[in-house]
A and B are shown apart, each in its own frame.
Chain A
């Protein structure tokens, strides 16, 4: 029954999208100055129905209705209700439905929020957005329908991969999708702006908050994903330069470049076509990311059930998107004289954009290179972290310095008056770096440079903060974001340099010593839970230098449905450091592999990222207040 209802609602959605496009075209032709009232109503209906459609699927998951193939393949009746619900978007079909929801709701919100913008611009945005919606709705119907039924109805589902049954991973896809798909709206708006020759500044005004919204969610999505990877995958790292992670990072670079340059467009009416190109690139990269991840072309350690025919459809859709936007761009391009003084805020924003494009290009090349060598030479290769570290880290050092200096420059023509200040900041950064090395442990050359440049950014942003409070010229949003980015790199640098890692193979009852630590494997316990059994280890770590003792309880979980083994890391977090311990068993031998790590300042890495996004929120509030 739910299957029929779901399919009916999908068809209704397609119909409504066509209706919106039809009336929008009619409204474009009419002499009326305002948009037809009924377009609002249909858009609202469209958003409501797509939500109802999604709730139908959620209902199927909650009631464990295995007559739907999708539910059968991804759920199980003994699964906790929370994970039944999150399982809805944990799979390919359900997540595509989520994709369409965001497209539709953003389309409606853009329509009602931008009331003071020109009629044609809004209508064209609506039309382009609805073409995107249709593209994905047809994709769902043809290839990835979550409402397909199965008969005879199975008694029990196959279950969700236990590694995905996790609170962080329950919210990770919706956050990331809000970022990915959120970028669709300024893709549509950019095309609408080209089609209607809309005023460049007004265009910038209408999209700037949408860029920030998608950027915030993208950042949060990536962060939640890495927090999950940190505690669930048991490697103790939080970023692996895996192709799937890279796919989420590519649009992030484009978004970051975009919300910097859109300010130039708004304030100085410059860089219009560059902003348009960035708008188009961002959503294109989002779809590309989805294509790469879902088609199984990328060789990733995160795996998604992949299916080449999915890839083909997305590839076709992607090509149409790319070619039509390139065509339109060339058709509408006109030469405009930009006079930008090389010492001005405009230049510094452009420098930011160069850096972002450099990162983007590096990650793109690193991600796609294996695909090309495979296709051309049939060599299977992989590009790992050493490549990204070698290319990106040295560049970040310079980037941080520009990030400190750039924001204090003036529009149009700048004069450096406070070179003395920067020299002082640089010297204090050097001194602090030296003190860290002196009191704790020597740093590598690269870490030294990273610490110095991040301190440079931190100190100079702190000066800005003090100045902005005393002089009441408050630009908190920027200061908060730049300051927390400085801290982020600072903490990552220290964390990287001071981490300790050690592996042992141990039997119960054994004790191992290394450096000034002692690890005692005290006992093992078997515990039974609702849908899994757990082997819990009891280990004591003593730090002889500081006289600290900690008990850590890593687990090996055995899930029934599907039959899977997972290792749960034991993590003890405090403000200074994380103790991280994983335990694994190899083919029922009496040895357990124990991996112990001490990771300093982990908590502060997460806090810095959240502070970074908080800066984005502040900017949105400020924008809203100014309008």
Chain B
């Protein structure tokens, strides 16, 4: 027979255990529904099951002479030197955003050629390049 003290402790311990399992489960579930995948224009072209409702990040270089701007939005083309993607964005761009510089846009794909961004990522450092982008360029050099 278990003593009362042991019983109490076992029930307390199992309660803590159950609570932690539940909270970790909730954290992980919320995590998987909130992650953003990073893709290059080539990834998008080759990917056949894109979820158009899910937010994602697209990265590459801003193509030369591709930025156009009117009083509502900025349009530009992201390129990874193989494939291109048109992007439309309305809002403030970070200070290092310009043609022939690296860029990461966050938003939703409308179709495989057109992306509507709701955020353009800021970079503080003039030499900075998003790690994802470095890899794309490294691949290209090869």
Contacts and interface: CB of A to CB of B under 8 A. Distances in A.
Contacts of A591: 69-71
Contacts of B122: 233, 235, 301
Interface stretch (A14-22, A135-143, A503-511): A503-511
B69 to A, nearest CB: 5
B6 to A, nearest CB: 11
A505 B92 contact: no
Nearest to A557: B95
Contacts of B26: 391
A365 interface: yes
B27 A505 contact: no
A556 B23 CA distance: 46
A299 interface: yes
A428 to B, nearest CB: 31
Contacts of A506: 71
Contacts of A163: 124
B142 interface: no
Interface stretch (B29-37, B45-53, B78-86, B109-117): B29-37
A318 B12 CA distance: 34
A390 B30 contact: yes
Contacts of A586: 67, 69, 74, 93, 97-98
A416 interface: no
Nearest to A374: B131
Interface string A318-344: 000000000000000000000000100
A471 interface: no
Per DSSP, are chain A's interface residues mostly helix, strand or loop, or mixed? Answer: mixed
A565 B90 contact: no
Given A161-B125, A387-B35, A586-B97, A358 B23 contact: yes
Interface string A288-307: 00000000100101110100
Interface string A571-609: 000000000001010110101010100000000000000
Given A504-B71, A584-B95, A593-B92, A303 B34 contact: no
A197 B132 CA distance: 50
Contacts of B91: 503, 593, 595
Interface in B20-74: 23-24, 26-28, 30-31, 34-38, 57, 67, 69-74
A361 B132 contact: no
Nearest to B99: A587
Contacts of B37: 379-381
B72 A505 contact: yes
Interface string B124-138: 111010111001000
B31 A365 contact: yes
Interface string A351-369: 0001000100110011001
A98 B19 CA distance: 42
Contact of B126 (A299, A381, A563): A563
A256 interface: no
B132 A505 contact: no
B95 to A, nearest CB: 4
A567 interface: yes
B132 A234 contact: no
Given A362-B27, A382-B38, A387-B34, A565 B95 contact: yes
A586 B120 CA distance: 13
Contacts of A386: 34
A623 interface: no
Contacts of B71: 504-507, 591
11 contacts: A301-B121, A342-B12, A362-B27, A373-B35, A380-B132, A383-B31, A387-B30, A391-B30, A505-B71, A582-B92, A584-B92
Would you list the 3 A-B pairs with minimal beta carbon distance, nearest first?
A380-B38, A387-B34, A595-B92
Given A586-B98, A591-B69, 8 more contacts: A161-B125, A296-B131, A303-B123, A303-B124, A391-B26, A391-B27, A589-B67, A595-B91
